[in-house]
Structures are given as structure tokens and as C-alpha cells.
């Protein structure tokens, strides 16, 4: 009897296919209207979420819901529960971390991706994913001026791109590592600057290299890796019997957006036979501007490179574009024979699951394609150029202000600075600036972040939302001045 009751309840609870789709048709229009209004008025919300830890959890029942609400009911829930807990990454007032945008063509891409529910696995399971991704990544390669000969693949994040780069480098250094594991031979050593992102440390940890074998190379006064220090570290390691195998250069470091001298690093990598990976997660997008091409000078000699269109190329999170000149090494790191996935096309195509840790993968390339199609290269260039101009103007304001000072060069659209009123002692500046940051973000009108580099606490303003305009920057200046007076 209980089984029967459960069955009847279950059947009643699930609408027919037709009813479900009809509800979707009606409600999705409402959501699109809501999303369009949201995009136009996101400034009305405090940009940094004002909730406390646990507030959102408290809005949700502890037990899973027995009865469904239907599509219509769920939409109200999202507005009631989720919206208060949002920090508004899609707002032009968001200038923290690296600011991003999810613009209309990107949102439409996500909608298509969800509706089509493609899963790459192997070519025949979604020829469109394989081929659209291949073409759109080749467009992006051309846009940033990378030479031909790079194989491209989309991962979710730069964390995974970096992991895959180091995995490929390891597969080249120890060809049989997939079978034997890291058992014999001299210890592998890898290198990155002191300012490299922690994704490099994570890759070293996950791949069994060990963080002790990731050497952090000294930086110059502009936060760039010192090539001569890299060379010395490699030579010391060789003399000590280690096996140097990989170096990561960063184009646009996370704290100060410094650009490592990739050409000089490439010379050293080539001389010692190291795999060179370029992490251009944020900065790489700027190379679509002819006047910014210099940032990727030498990157054509790299073994691999990644950039994140979900950072500064107006694609909804997540999407990291990865390129390598050695797809066979990448394949060696990840390909695995699965008889149940063999197809008649395996000799003609590159099955994406052979080039990364995941078997299944979603159709991320669609949103990148739609964004490039919608705005064109010229449109994207105009937005990025506009951001750099806004950053230049803000930098000039800081430079000329009696109570603020710049703390790092500004190659892109991120400005690092601090308040330094003449009467405040150096040892008190970190506390003063932390207090200033708290007050600025508590206004809810802007959201900026902080970092520590070269031993100094800094504030960071990162312009990267495509709707950020001069009026938002003017408001930020006003807020900084007012809050500093309170501090």
C-alpha cells in the first residue's frame, strides 16, 4: 500500500512533458524580463552583499521539499532567497578582484547551452562542441596575435588550465609517469615568480611535484620575475641533481597586474629544455588591442598559454581558453583507453576528453562564440580600450591627490594604490587603509579589493565590467575622499 501511495504521489507531482514545457515557455519569458531589468538597474543593489554568514541558509528549509513548486514557484524562491545573498559581479560598480561581465549574448549562450545539454565526451557525442570550440579558439588565437600551430581547448578556469599545463609538462619530462607514478629519478623542479597565482602551487601539489619543488623566483621593483634569478635557480638545481622541467610566467599578475618578461624567460626555458607556460588569465585579453600586443611578446615561443575570457572578455563565468604547441604531451597526460567510447572517427578527430581531466564537458564555446559574434573584434577592442582609459584617468587622480599614492605600475585597467595622508606614519598605513576599504565597501555603492605586495598593503581598483563608465569612477573618487576624511 505504501509503495502504491508513493507511486501515485510521484506521478501526480511530475507535470506532463507538454505542461512542463508550456510553463517553461511562460515563466522563462518572465525571467528574461527580470534579467533584462536587473542588468539595467544592478546599481540599485548594494554591490557587496550585506548579509551575514548563515543568513541565506536560514531562509531555506532544512529538509528537502517533498512537494514540487512547479517552474513558476521556483522563480519567486530565487528572488526571495538568492538575490539578497548576491555580491553583484555584473554591476558596473564592481571593481574588486578582477571585474567581469555577463552580457546579453553570453546569457543567451548559457540559455542555449542548458537547453541543448550537450556533453562533449568524444567527437560523435557532440560534433558541434568539438568544431565550434576549435574554430572560436582559433579566432581568439588570431585576436591576441598568437602564431599558428597552437592547439586550443576550453577548460572551466585558469586553475584547471594551469593544472593541465603542468601535467603536460610533467608528461614530457617523465614520459611514463602515467604508468609508474612519480617513483624513480631525480626530483622534478618547477619555477614561477613570487607574484604567481596560487593555482601554480595547487598544480604542484595535485601533480605530486610538491610545493617544496616549486621555486618562487625573486621579482624586481615592478613586481616582474627577474630572469637572471630564474637562471641562477635552474643552474643551482641542476648542480644539485634536480630535474628542472617547467616554468610559469605571468602576464597580468593577480595583485599588481605586472607582466613577466616572457621573451627573456623563453630564452632561459629553451636553453634548459623547460616547458614554458604563460598564465595570462586576466591580462591576455588586452592583447586584442594592437597597442597592447607587446604583453604577449615571446608568448609564441611558449609551450602553453591560458587566458580567461570570463575575466576580461565579457563571457559569463566560467571559461578559460588554453593553448599548447604540444597537444601530444597534453594527450599523453590525459588520454585513457575506454573501449566503450571508441568510435569510427577516432583517427580523424581530437576527442576533447583525451586532453583534460574531465570525461564530460559542457558546451562553453557557445557563449564565447556568441559574444565574439555579437560585438565583433572591434566592439571588444573598444570596450577594453575604454577600460584602460578609465584606469589611466583614475591613476592620474591618485597621482595628483595629496592623500593618496600609487604603489605599482598600471599596464592594464587595474590601479594599485593606498591612502597616505602626510601625517600618518608608515607603520599605521596598513590599518588606515584596511579601515578605509571597509568604509568604502560598506557604502554599497562600489566594491573594491585589497592585496599585499612588496610588503605593503594596497587597495586595488580593477575596471572590467563593460558597463563601467566615467560616472562610476567619479562616484568612486567621491567615496574614497569622503571615507578617508572619516578615517
Ligand X SMILES: Cc1ncc(COP(=O)(O)O)c(C=O)c1O
Bridge partners of residue 277, in order along the sequence: 248, 304
DSSP readout, 370-415? HHHHHHHHHHHHHHHHHHHHHHHHHHHHHHH-TTEEE-S--SSSEE
Tell which residue, 293, 308, 250, has the closest CA to residue 100: 308
Burial of 445 (0-12, 13-18, 19+ CB in 10 A): middle
Of 213 and 257, CB closest to ligand X: 257
List Cα–Cα distances, 399 to 160, 353, 477, in angstroms.
38, 50, 13
Q: State which of residues 42, 118, 250, 449 lies at the interface with ligand X (CB under 6 A).
A: 250
CA distance 411 to 409: 6
* Binding residues with ligand X: total (CB under 6 A): 15
Is 412 near ligand X (CB under 6 A)? no
C-alpha cell at 38: 536587473
Is 281 near ligand X (CB under 6 A)? yes
Report the side by side order of strands in the sheet with 404-406. 404-406, 414-419, 456-462, 449-453
Tell which residue, 126, 115, 112, 117, has the closest CA to residue 353: 126
List Cα–Cα distances, 381 to 144, 225, 296, in angstroms.
11, 28, 16
List Cα–Cα distances, 414 to 269, 394, 406, in angstroms.
29, 10, 11
Span of 102-110, 278-286, 414-422, 459-467 interacting with ligand X by CB under 6 A: 278-286
Span of 219-227, 252-260, 329-337, 361-369 interacting with ligand X by CB under 6 A: 252-260
Of 419 and 448, CB closest to ligand X: 448
- For the chain, the farthest-separated pair of C-alpha atoms sits apart, in whole angstroms, at 81
Of 126 and 253, CB closest to ligand X: 253
- The interface with ligand X within residues 291-310 (CB under 6 A) comprises 308
Is 414 near ligand X (CB under 6 A)? no
Q: Is the peptide bond before 221 cis (omega within 30 degrees of 0)?
A: no
C-alpha cell at 172: 614530457
What's the closest the beta carbon of residue 281 comes to ligand X, in angstroms? 4
Spatial contact of 175 and 150, defined as CB atoms under 8 Å apart: no
Of 101 and 159, CB closest to ligand X: 159
Span of 32-40, 129-137, 249-257, 472-480 interacting with ligand X by CB under 6 A: 249-257
Of 155 and 363, CB closest to ligand X: 155
282 secondary structure, DSSP code: T
Q: State which of residues 122, 199, 204, 276 lies at the interface with ligand X (CB under 6 A).
A: 199
Q: State which of residues 197, 331, 361, 418 lies at the interface with ligand X (CB under 6 A).
A: 197
Is 353 near ligand X (CB under 6 A)? no
Spatial contact of 278 and 136, defined as CB atoms under 8 Å apart: no
Of 258 and 353, CB closest to ligand X: 258
What's the closest the beta carbon of residue 331 comes to ligand X, in angstroms? 23
Give the number of residues written for the chain.
487
Is 98 near ligand X (CB under 6 A)? yes
What's the closest the beta carbon of residue 371 comes to ligand X, in angstroms? 17
Tell which residue, 441, 428, 432, has the closest CA to residue 479: 441
Binding flags for ligand X, 319-348, as an x/- string (CB under 6 A): -x----------------------------
Of 322 and 417, CB closest to ligand X: 322
Of 98 and 314, CB closest to ligand X: 98
Spatial contact of 188 and 209, defined as CB atoms under 8 Å apart: yes
Of 282 and 397, CB closest to ligand X: 282
Of 305 and 352, CB closest to ligand X: 305
Is 193 near ligand X (CB under 6 A)? no
Span of 246-254, 263-271, 349-357, 400-408 interacting with ligand X by CB under 6 A: 246-254
- The interface with ligand X within residues 120-179 (CB under 6 A) comprises 157-159
CA distance 210 to 481: 46
Of 199 and 479, CB closest to ligand X: 199
Is 282 near ligand X (CB under 6 A)? yes
Q: State which of residues 42, 126, 254, 449 lies at the interface with ligand X (CB under 6 A).
A: 254
What's the closest the beta carbon of residue 422 comes to ligand X, in angstroms? 33
What's the closest the beta carbon of residue 199 comes to ligand X, in angstroms? 5
Question: Residues interacting with ligand X, by CB under 6 A?
Answer: 98, 157-159, 197, 199, 250, 252-254, 279, 281-282, 308, 320
Amino acid at each position: 500500500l505504501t509503495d502504491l501511495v508513493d507511486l501515485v504521489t510521484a506521478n501526480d507531482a511530475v507535470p506532463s512533458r507538454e505542461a512542463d514545457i508550456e510553463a517553461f515557455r511562460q515563466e522563462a519569458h518572465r525571467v528574461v524580463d527580470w534579467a533584462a531589468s536587473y542588468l539595467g538597474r544592478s546599481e540599485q543593489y548594494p554591490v557587496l552583499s550585506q548579509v551575514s554568514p548563515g543568513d541565506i541558509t536560514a531562509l531555506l528549509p532544512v529538509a528537502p521539499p517533498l512537494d514540487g513548486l512547479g517552474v513558476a514557484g521556483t522563480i519567486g524562491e530565487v528572488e526571495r532567497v538568492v538575490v539578497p545573498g548576491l555580491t553583484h559581479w555584473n554591476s558596473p560598480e564592481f571593481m574588486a578582484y578582477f571585474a567581469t561581465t555577463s552580457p546579453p549574448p553570453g546569457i543567451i549562450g548559457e540559455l542555449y547551452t542548458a537547453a541543448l545539454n550537450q556533453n562533449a565526451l568524444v567527437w560523435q557525442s557532440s560534433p558541434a562542441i568539438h568544431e565550434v570550440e576549435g574554430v572560436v579558439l582559433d579566432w581568439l588565437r588570431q585576436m591576441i596575435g598568437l602564431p599558428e600551430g597552437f592547439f586550443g581547448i576550453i577548460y572551466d578556469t585558469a586553475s584547471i588550465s594551469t593544472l593541465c599545463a603542468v601535467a603536460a609538462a610533467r608528461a614530457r619530462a617523465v614520459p611514463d609517469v602515467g604508468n609508474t607514478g612519480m617513483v624513480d629519478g631525480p626530483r622534478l623542479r618547477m619555477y614561477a615568480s613570487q607574484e604567481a597565482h596560487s593555482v601554480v602551487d595547487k598544480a604542484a601539489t595535485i601533480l605530486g611535484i610538491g610545493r617544496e619543488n616549486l621555486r618562487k623566483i625573486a621579482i624586481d621593483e615592478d613586481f616582474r620575475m627577474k630572469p637572471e634569478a630564474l637562471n641562477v635557480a635552474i643552474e643551482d638545481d641542476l648542480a644539485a641533481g634536480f630535474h628542472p622541467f617547467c616554468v610559469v610566467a605571468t602576464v597580468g599578475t593577480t595583485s599588481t597586474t605586472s607582466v613577466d618578461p616572457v621573451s627573456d624567460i623563453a630564452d632561459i626555458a629553451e636553453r634548459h629544455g623547460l616547458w614554458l607556460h604563460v598564465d595570462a588569465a586576466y591580462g591576455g585579453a588586452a592583447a586584442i588591442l594592437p597597442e597592447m600586443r607587446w604583453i604577449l611578446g615571446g608568448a609564441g615561443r611558449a609551450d602553453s598559454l591560458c587566458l580567461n575570457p570570463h575575466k576580461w572578455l565579457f563571457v559569463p563565468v566560467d571559461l578559460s581558453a588554453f593553448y599548447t604547441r604540444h597537444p601530444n604531451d597534453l594527450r599523453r597526460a590525459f588520454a585513457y583507453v575506454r573501449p566503450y567510447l571508441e568510435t569510427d572517427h577516432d583517427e580523424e578527430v581530437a576527442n576533447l576528453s583525451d586532453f583534460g581531466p574531465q570525461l564530460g564537458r559542457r558546451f562553453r564555446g557557445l557563449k564565447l562564440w556568441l559574444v565574439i559574434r555579437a560585438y565583433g573584434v572591434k566592439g571588444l577592442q573598444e570596450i577594453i580600450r575604454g577600460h584602460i582609459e578609465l584606469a589611466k584617468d583614475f591613476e592620474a587622480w591618485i597621482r595628483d591627490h595629496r592623500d593618496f599614492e600609487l604603489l605599482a605600475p598600471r599596464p592594464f585597467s587595474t590601479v594599485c594604490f593606498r591612502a597616505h595622508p602626510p601625517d600618518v606614519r608608515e607603520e599605521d598605513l596598513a590599518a588606515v587603509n584596511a579601515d578605509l576599504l571597509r568604509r568604502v565597501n560598506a557604502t554599497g555603492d562600489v566594491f573594491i579589493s585589497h592585496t599585499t605586495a612588496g610588503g605593503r598593503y594596497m587597495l586595488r581598483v580593477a575596471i572590467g565590467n563593460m558597463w563601467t563608465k566615467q560616472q562610476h569612477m567619479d562616484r568612486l573618487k567621491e567615496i574614497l575622499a569622503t571615507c578617508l576624511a572619516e578615517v
